[in-house]
Every structure is written in C-alpha cells, then in structure tokens.
Structure 1
Amino acid sequence: MARFVGRTRELRILDEELARVSRTPDDDRPGRCLLVRGRRRVGKSRLIETFVDRSGAAALYFTASGVPTEAELAGLRRDAQESSLPARDLLGAGQPSNWDDALRLLAASLPEDTPSVVVIDELPYLMDDDHAFEGTLQRAWDRHLSRKPVLLILVGSDLSMMEALDDYRRPFHQRGREMVIGPLTPLDLASMLDLEAADAFDAYLVTGGLPLICTDWEAGQDLWGFLERSLANPTSPLLVSAERSLAAEFPEHVQARTVLSAIGSGERTFTNIAKAAGGIASAPLQRSLTSLTRKRVVAGELPLSTRPSKERRYHITDPYLRFWLRFLAPSMAEIERGRGDLTLERIRRDWTTWRGRAVEPVIKEALARKLPDEHLPAAPAIGGYWTRTNDVELDIVGADRSPVAGRLLFVGSVKWLERCPFDEHDLVELQRHRAALTSEPVPTIAVSRSGVSCRGLHTSYEPHDLLEAWADSARVP
C-alpha cells in the first residue's frame, strides 16, 4: 500500500468529531453525522480508512457499488461480518431484504456506551431520483442511529449529489455537517516533496495534488526528473489516474468526453469548442457543457466588470486533468511503445506558455483564500476580464460581486516566468488595460514568479506569499 502523507488537518477534524460523540454519553441523541465530499481520487476513502484504523473505535466500513439493492445488502452483510462491531453477526443473522430493515439492524449492532464509527462510501450510488433511500436514511437516523454514540460518515465523489443531500427540500436536510476534502495543496506539496514555493506550484499543476500521484514523486526530485520517470512507465499514476477517473465519471457519455478533450486542448469559447469537437451542434454541446459544469469538471466564467457580458469562457477545473488532457492523452500511443521521451520534449517546448495560463485559476484561489491582508481588502469575487477580440485582457479582477460588479476593488496581471520579473513594460500594459475597463484609479497588483523590478504598483505577490493562503485548508462549516 502506498504511504499515507499529509492530511494532518483533516485527521484532526475527524478526531474532534469522534471526540464530540465520546463527550456526550448522557445525551439522548449522542450520534453525529458527517457528509464528506470531494472529487474522485483526492484520497477521501484512504483518509477515512486511516482515521478509522487510528481511532481504535469499533467500526464498519461499507462501500456501495451501484448494483441492485439485493446485491448491495449482501455487500453490507459481508462488510459487517468483517467489521469490528461487537454485535457484527446481527446483520447477517437478520438477513434484511430492504434498507429500512438493514439500517435498523445496523443501529442495533452498535455499542450503547462506547463510541463507534460507521462509514458508507460512494453514497451517491444508493441515491435515486425520488429520494427513496434518503428518506429511509433520514428515518433510520432519527429513530435509531442518532440515539447511539456513533459517528456516521457518508462519503461521495459526485459533488452535486452530495451537496443536494443537505438541501432544505431533501429528507436528510440538517442531519449532518459537511466536510469538504480537496486535493493536497501547493503548501502540502512544498512540505512533503521538499520543494521551493515556485516549484511546488509546478508540481501542483502537474499532479493536481492527487495523493496517489504525489506519493510517486520522490522528495527533492525536480519536475523534469519526475516526468521523465513517469513517462517511462505506462502504468504510472500520472498516466492512468485521469482515464480511470473519467471512466467512472462518464462511463457512457462519449460526447462529454469529446467536449472535455476540446477544452483540454486549449479551446475556451463555445464556438471554438464546437469546432474542436468535430463540429458538434449547439444544443448537444450546451447539454454536454451543462453536465460537465454540474459535475464541477468544467467551469464557465464571464468577464468580471461593472458591465454585463456574454463572452463566457470555459476551463478544466482540475489542474491535473488539465495537464493530462493537454499533454498526455494525445501521446498515450507513443508512451505505450516506449517513446515517452518524445512526449517529454513536447512538454518542455510548450511548458512555459501552457503554465502561464494554467496557473491563473490557482492564483485566483490563493488570493481568495489570502485576502484581506495589509494591502488589499477581502474580495467577494475574484475573476478576470476580457473582450471578444482580446484587445483588452486582465488576468485578475477583484470586485464586490460577480459577474456584474457594483464596485471594482483591484486589477492585476500574472507574469509566471523564470528569471523574468514583472517590469516597467508590464506595468504600462496593465495600466492601459485598466483604463479600458474603468476610469477609476483602481489599485493595480502583480503576481510574479520572479519578483518585480518596477515601481508604481499598489502591491505584488510572489510564490512564497501565495503559499500562505493554504495554511488551513480543511474545513467543516
């Protein structure tokens, strides 16, 4: 098994939730529920398994698999038999034929006076359009499970379905607290891989912070050493993780995969995506984009300004998937025949240009996490601005709301080059683009990989400044 790295913040939160169960033995409802969500392959299951093992509590870990109810219940009985619950034989002996009976027997299997943990992984496989399972779960929680000192952890990768579970119109509303598990952050990578701040951002753009890929990166190894070794092995996590994730997300949606590939190749507008996807018609393209956006695989953004705009642009939200679609997916045939060196040379040639665009969403996230600071106020909306012809383009725009702002708070430029600081020429360009956006003296900022060599900016940020934004990334609202 791959080594377990990082996640100290997330483990602390889980420990605290279990401790709250332990501290309320006299409560008539000591049970607590966590709704854990995060994209596929960010390490949710491994994190929860590690927590369960370290907790020492009696525990049952069940993973749904999308099979008919009878088979799911057989899997639950099997996992119960292998669990550490003291009354683990109860579920098997009861032979439940439906989820009402199964959850009632599960509650009866839990200890009365010591804390236990029950995990239902891949919960969206059990959810349906009429919310029948959610209603069953709500009744079991209210009548039986919450009356035991149990930490019930419901885990899912379908972000929209997991968010909907707590919607006020759904049966399980307000029964659980949400916990979001993201990938490892640039700050995590700097620490675990022994990298300088700027190099940690490079590592993040390639791995997306996915633990399985990051554990294959040797501490102290540079980007090109990691890529050379990974491209020489067709079964490396860097090469296979994206395909497995996409197969799970879109098992039958070939068109969505085609559209995703078009965006991954660098196309950002509706018209250009349609052309790159083989001339797909407007209606089916819109359906695919809606599906991809709903699943949070793709984001569609409008220019952020005080004037409305219809110039929407799309990008892949996951840095690793963005890298894989651009460089690796088109090269899998040559990698599999042992010519990963050709792929590596192609990456070297296009890396600086691709990275300059790919890092922008990461920088915006860092600023959103970091602000306010001593230089800038908090910005409820951070985006960019562009025109149809790109004659005016601002990498960063901070505002009071989006997509149509009432007030602009700052504008900025990103220059992410080695040994090439943000200079006087860049400042003049930034000021020219600001003037095209607004006549107000909105503060100007620069985000530069190699520092700033001019005066006249309101403030600037370098890689080590941005890393601080992830000082505490796990959260439970």
Structure 2
Amino acid sequence: MVEFVGRQRELASLGNLLAKVRRATDGERPGRCLLMRGRRRIGKSSLVEAFVDQAAGPAMFFTASGASTDIELESFTEAVSASTLPDRDVFAEAQPGNWSAALRQLAGILPDDRPSIVVIDEVPYLAERVDAFEGILQRAWDRELSRKPVLLILIGSDLSMMEALSSYGRPFHQRGTEMVLGPLTPAEVGLMLGLEPAAAFDAALVTGGLPLICAAWEPGSDVDTFLERELADPVSPLLVSAERSLAAEFPESAMAAAVLSAIGSGERTFTNIARAAGGISHTTLTRALDVLIEKRLVAAELPLSTTPSKERRYRVTDPYLRFWLTFVKPYLPEIERLRGDITVGRVKAGWTSWRGRTIEPLLRDSLARLLPDDTLPSAPVVGSYWTRSNSIEIDVVGADRAPVARELFFLGSIKWLERSPFDDHDMLALQRHRAAVTQEPLPLLALSRSGVTAKGLAAAYGPDDLIRAWS
C-alpha cells in the first residue's frame, strides 16, 4: 500500500510490542499498552489497520466519534460484535450499561491462550465526553485487561491531550509506551514519489508529508504538474485535508482559526498578527496563540544567540498547512468555479519567495540530524537569529542550548534557488552578520540548492547531503 512507504520502522515497533505480549513469562502480566499520537490525517489509523491485518490474530477496532456517551457505548458494542474476537457474541447477548462494564466485559472475552489486539481510536473524544474516563480506563487496565495477553493501542490526534493522558499525576501514568507518528520524511516522500532530492524537498513542503496527499502525486511528476492537476479538482486531498483538520481542531474557536490564517499568510510578529486578524486585543491574541501552540500548529521562536532577546516570532509548523493558508484558502471560490488555473499561476509567481522562507526550518532540522561530520560538530540546538529591524538575519545558528546559548558552534546561510549558487556576495553578507553577533571566528556554512562558488566556507551542503539525514 502506498500509504506505508517509510512506515516500516513503526510497523516493526508495533510488531515488537506484540511479540512481548506473546513472550510474557509466568507470573508476569502479559498485557502491553501503546499510546499513539500524531496530527490529524497523518495516517495513524491506517498504519494500525495495516498492522492488525499483518498480525492476522483476533482483534477489534473502535473509533470514537465525539458523540454522546450512550451513542459511543453503543458504537463500541457494535465494534466488538464486528470484530474477530472469538467470544464476541457475548456483547450481543448482554449489552453493557456503562463504560466500566464495557471494558470489564471486553477483558472477559479476550483469549487467554494467544495474543489479541484492541484498538481504541480518537481517545480524546472519550476523555472529553465520558465522565472520569481516564480513571475508568486505568482501573480496567490494572484489574482486568493487563492480565490478558493483549496489545491495547490508544490513538489520538489531540497531541496535548494524548501527552497529558500518561503524564505524572494522571490515572494512566506509566502504563503505556508512547509513539509519536510524524509525517513522511523528505527521504520517504522522495522514495514514494520517485523524485530526486531537490524535488523531494519541494514535494515535502507542498504535501507536508501527509500520506493521503502524497498518494495523489503521480510518481516522477514535478510540483507544477501536481498542482495543475490537484487545483483543477475542488475535492482533491490537497484542498480538503486542511479544511477538515481545522474544522475538527477548532469547532467553536473562530478566533484561533483567524489568528492561524494571519500567521499562515506570512505575519510573524505579535503586533502584525493582531492587525492582520482584525485588530484584536492583546489578551484575545495571547489566548488564541496559547491554543495554537498547545495544539502544535504554531511555533513561537526567539533568536538564538548568547544574549537575551524578546523579538519573538511565530510560524505555522506544518508546511502543507502553511501552503494551504497562503495559496489555497483565500482563493477557494475561484477553485470551486473550476478556475484553478488562476490559482496555479499565483503559486508559480510566489513560489520562490514562499519556498525560501518555508523550507528553512526543514533544512535546519536536516542539518541537525546530519551532524556531526568531518567538519562540524553536533549541535544540541540548530536555530536562527534576527533583529527587530531584520538588518541582521542569520539563517543557521548551532548552539549548546536555546534560546540563550552559552556557546555558539557555527553560523550559516540558506540559499535555495534553482539557478543561483551561494556566491562571494552571499559570503560577504554572512561574514558581516557574524561580526555583528560575535567576535569569535566561528565556522561558516552554506545550505544551497544550486551549489557553492564562494571561498572560505567551513562546509557546504546541498539537497543530496541533506536528504541523507532522513534516511
């Protein structure tokens, strides 16, 4: 299945947990629990479904929908009845009246002589709607479920809530192994779509590494070809995935969505975001930003240097969402009237500028994964530096900690253009900015899409080098 290119590591981890259930010794509780979290539409449910199919043992899969407690309980009963658990008919004969009874009854029908798999998807919905659900789950696990040879997989898209589920002081603390499912990496996107490294980075930006969107990309085709086809289809995954995710994230919070749109359109400072969001108050904007940061949709960053700074900037963490907010959302009416060709033209006109800014965090992450090498040391933190006026901007800063470092290890510049290498002019600018930040002769590096002609760099990295960081 194309959706699972690059998911072999996660499938292997799931297989290892199931093997631990199978190998449990006498006197040891055989049950194991996994808490899986990841952004919406990242492929969590599909990954687990593929694993369940591969395992080929007794299993049940229930997905909460955010409905009332009674409706969720009825759906849970139906999921058990439709499962491959050997004694599933018990639920049809005696339907449980509450969640405590349902989980206790489920434990009672799990086989004792072979491993089984129980999946509960969208756990945050249950935690929100069912009174004391975390405590109910903890008691069921401690008293019944963990005594059976079962792998219990709890899945959730609300990252902060899933993190809290196993945090200290909560009922389910230290009762499960955690797995964070991220997007497909640039290397995985390139492998899936048959693209060279530079094109793979482009595809990773547009798709965000979301398997559903990648699956719509015809292998070997470039960004322009992909966009021409997808923007001509009003119901393509490229268009609808972000809208559906945001509707689920902010069903009642229009202000958070408005602030997200302001950041996605390119505003990075608190004052400019407030203005772009309609002149909202300081308190309202702070509250909305807190929600967005908690949900991991927005990152709040400070300049990385040896001196403190208050010049905080905000950015949308998901490049696909940033693409959608910039090029798609404002122009949905023209796409819906089948004039996606106008939208494509707008993307082509703004592509170089948009990509140049959006790819920087991804390339910094690539460099952090790549180092150390023969030239540069490993850096615990790889960030960037700027001043309020932007008179000094350094794209890459390697340091021992953030945001105020004790020691800087290297500085660098990113130039990600098709036909323009990193040249002597770029080198002079980087040297000038280094002198404004430190008097130390820190090594300088360049991340360039089209090579380097400048002299004096300690290191230079291109698409081929940086894609290896994800292999």
TM-score bracket for the superposition, by shorter chain length: over 0.9
Matches within 5 A, 1:146-295: 146-295=146-295
The one-letter code sitting in structure 1 at the alignment partner of 2:165 is L
- Deviates further, 462-471 or 210-219: 462-471
Q: CA deviation at 1:126?
A: 1.3
Q: CA deviation at 1:376?
A: 2.0
Question: What's the secondary structure of 1:359's corresponding residue?
Answer: helix
Rounded to whole Å, the distance in 2 between the matches of 1:110 and 1:464 is 50
In structure 2, the residue matched to 1:73 is: 73
User: Normalising by structure 2, what TM-score?
Assistant: 0.98
Question: What's the secondary structure of 1:80's corresponding residue?
Answer: helix
The C-alpha deviation readout for 1:161-219, integer Å capped at 9, x for no partner, is 11111111111111001111111111011111110000000001100011111000011
The one-letter code sitting in structure 2 at the alignment partner of 1:428 is L
In structure 1, the residue matched to 2:57 is: 57
Task: Give the 3 Å change call, closer, same or farther, for CA 91–369 of structure 1 in structure 2.
Answer: farther
Rounded to whole Å, the distance in 1 between the matches of 2:128 and 2:332 is 37
In structure 2, the residue matched to 1:296 is: 296
Q: CA deviation at 1:27?
A: 4.5
Q: CA deviation at 1:146?
A: 0.8
Q: CA deviation at 1:141?
A: 0.9
In structure 2, the residue matched to 1:475 is: none
Rounded to whole Å, the distance in 1 between the matches of 2:269 and 2:131 is 36
Rounded to whole Å, the distance in 1 between the matches of 2:130 and 2:373 is 47
Does the CA contact (< 8 Å) of 1:387 and 1:393 recur in 2? yes
Rounded to whole Å, the distance in 2 between the matches of 1:380 and 1:147 is 42
Does the CA contact (< 8 Å) of 2:2 and 2:192 recur in 1? no
- Deviates further, 180-189 or 96-105: 96-105
Matched, 1:459 2:459: yes
In structure 2, the residue matched to 1:376 is: 376
Rounded to whole Å, the distance in 2 between the matches of 1:211 and 1:403 is 33
Rounded to whole Å, the distance in 2 between the matches of 1:55 and 1:19 is 10
In structure 2, the residue matched to 1:391 is: 391
Matches within 5 A, 1:313-462: 313-462=313-462
Does the CA contact (< 8 Å) of 2:69 and 2:129 recur in 1? no
Question: What's the secondary structure of 2:383's corresponding residue?
Answer: strand
Does the CA contact (< 8 Å) of 2:300 and 2:314 recur in 1? yes
Q: CA deviation at 1:129?
A: 9.8
Rounded to whole Å, the distance in 1 between the matches of 2:335 and 2:250 is 24
Does the CA contact (< 8 Å) of 1:5 and 1:215 recur in 2? no
Rounded to whole Å, the distance in 2 between the matches of 1:244 and 1:437 is 44
Rounded to whole Å, the distance in 2 between the matches of 1:76 and 1:405 is 51
The one-letter code sitting in structure 1 at the alignment partner of 2:17 is E
Does the CA contact (< 8 Å) of 1:5 and 1:192 recur in 2? yes
Matched, 1:40 2:43: no
- Deviates further, 227-236 or 61-70: 61-70
The one-letter code sitting in structure 1 at the alignment partner of 2:304 is L
In structure 2, the residue matched to 1:29 is: 29
Rounded to whole Å, the distance in 2 between the matches of 1:131 and 1:466 is 48
Q: CA deviation at 1:398?
A: 1.0
Q: CA deviation at 1:4?
A: 5.0
- Deviates further, 372-381 or 233-242: 372-381
Rounded to whole Å, the distance in 1 between the matches of 2:438 and 2:6 is 44
In structure 2, the residue matched to 1:97 is: 97
In structure 2, the residue matched to 1:474 is: none
Does the CA contact (< 8 Å) of 2:3 and 2:211 recur in 1? no
Question: What's the secondary structure of 2:61's corresponding residue?
Answer: strand
In structure 2, the residue matched to 1:122 is: 122
The one-letter code sitting in structure 1 at the alignment partner of 2:42 is V
Task: Give the 3 Å change call, closer, same or farther, for CA 327–174 of structure 1 in structure 2.
Answer: same
User: Normalising by structure 1, what TM-score?
Assistant: 0.96
Q: CA deviation at 1:453?
A: 1.0
Does the CA contact (< 8 Å) of 2:382 and 2:399 recur in 1? yes
Rounded to whole Å, the distance in 1 between the matches of 2:24 and 2:332 is 55
In structure 1, the residue matched to 2:307 is: 307
Matched, 1:19 2:19: yes
